[in-house]
Amino acid sequence: MKEFLKNDTISYNLMSFTGYKTLILFSLMTEGPKSYFDVKEYFENQPYVREKFSMDTMRVYMNSFKRAGCQIKRKREDGVSKYWIADNPFKLKLTQEQKKSVIKIYKTLVKNLSAEEIIELDRLLLKLTNYIADEEFVGEYQRASVLKKENLQIVDQLLDCCRGHKQIKVAYNSPYSGVKDIEMVTKRLVYNNNKLYVKASGLEYNQDTDFLVSRIVEIKEVKDQDENIESCKEVTVVYRLQTDGHVPELIQSEKLLEAGKDYAVISITGNNIFYINQRLLEHGAACTVMEPEEFKKTFIEQLKEMREEYDND
């Protein structure tokens, strides 16, 4: 341990290597069906193992799991045998108070973490449900899960694309026009109002848009961003909000610039003017646009047009 603290490296002398590999294989087998080739590839690429894993070695480990009380299942897909641990004796037992605390802590955490951190937390807890002998609790957690309605394969693909700001084409199930192809340059995943979105620059209108992940049917194409595409121009709008003593709830693109007894000065930044307008209109008469002057004039003209339309009805 002293060696690890000094050098920040792992060596065979610092751990039970057999025990470490046992835990890795146990974790893989509880995730779902795995073929020998899946396991072999994983061990060859695992950063602290990186060694060949023979079929005989796998049999030894699987027999050890059986003797420890694990229930091993096997099935064949396309002529390939796959194995998994369907049940094991290493189950956790939680009291009613502990169950309530876990769900409460989870709901609190997702309000304060980034989307990527929420996904990692969700996966960790979903993995832990394999070791909890309480179907009622597992069901309660799964109902609270951020990922309960998401296609996990698409979530993984989007995470990878956002890290490299890839340009992608997706089949998107729009509530207005049905399934259609949309091209976008991915930026990051965001979690707002209990929903997961991918923030991206839509190439059709060249502006940032939050696309609901659950509406992405398929990612059809992934490539590096086209260098000829112009970056979306962002605008920062500053507005004064009458709060009547309440603390204003800000969205991710907003910042609190000043707070008084009954007012707040807030900035909102983005390149999707429609979304900025919608946000300002949400506040109704309590909102006054301060700057920039050009946006202010345009916004006032839009309000006048809306008023005229209502007067003509």
Do the Cβ atoms of 99 and 137 come closer than 8 Å? yes
Band (231; pLDDT cuts 50, 70, 90): low
Would you say residue 10 has pLDDT above 60? no
> What domain range includes position 160?
152-223
Tell me, yes or no, whether 229 lies in a domain.
no
Question: Is there a single domain that holds both residue 262 and residue 296?
Answer: yes
Mean pLDDT score of the chain: 84
Instruction: Pick 123 or 310 by higher pLDDT.
Output: 123
**Across the strands, what pairs with 191?**
196
Between the alpha carbon of residue 205 and those of residues 114, 141, 161, 202, 223, the distances in Å are 27, 39, 20, 6, 19
Q: What percent of the chain has pLDDT over 70?
A: 90
Question: Is there a single domain that holds both residue 239 and residue 303?
Answer: yes
What mean pLDDT is predicted for residues 294-304?
88
Question: Is there a single domain that holds both residue 112 and residue 161?
Answer: no
pLDDT of residue 257: 94
pLDDT of residue 230: 57
**CA 261 – CA 94 distance, rounded (Å):** 46
Question: Is there a single domain that holds both residue 216 and residue 242?
Answer: no
Instruction: Pick 194 or 286 by higher pLDDT.
Output: 286
Helix (H, G, I), strand (E, B) or coil at 94: coil
Tens of pLDDT, residue by residue over 54-90, are 889 899 999 999 999 999 999 998 889 999 998 888 8
From 121, 144, 167, the end of a domain falls on: 144
Instruction: Pick 145 or 202 by higher pLDDT.
Output: 145
**CA 167 – CA 187 distance, rounded (Å):** 10
Would you say residue 253 has pLDDT above 90? no
Chain Cα centroid distance, residue 43: 27
Q: What is the DSSP letter of 224?
A: P
Do the Cβ atoms of 184 and 200 come closer than 8 Å? yes
**CA 166 – CA 184 distance, rounded (Å):** 8
Would you say residue 12 has pLDDT above 60? no
Helix (H, G, I), strand (E, B) or coil at 274: helix
Tell me, yes or no, whether 129 lies in a domain.
yes
Would you say residue 228 has pLDDT above 80? no
Band (313; pLDDT cuts 50, 70, 90): low
Lowest pLDDT segment from 41-50, 110-119, 130-139, 166-175: 130-139
From 168, 200, 223, the end of a domain falls on: 223
Could you tell me the maximum CA-CA distance found in the chain, to the nearest angstrom?
A: 83
Would you say residue 11 has pLDDT above 60? no
Tell me, yes or no, whether 161 lies in a domain.
yes
Do the Cβ atoms of 96 and 103 come closer than 8 Å? no
What mean pLDDT is predicted for residues 149-159?
91
Alpha-carbon torsion angle 56, 58, 62, 65, nearest 10: 120
Q: Say which CATH number the domain at 179 has.
A: 2.30.30
Tell me, yes or no, whether 228 lies in a domain.
no
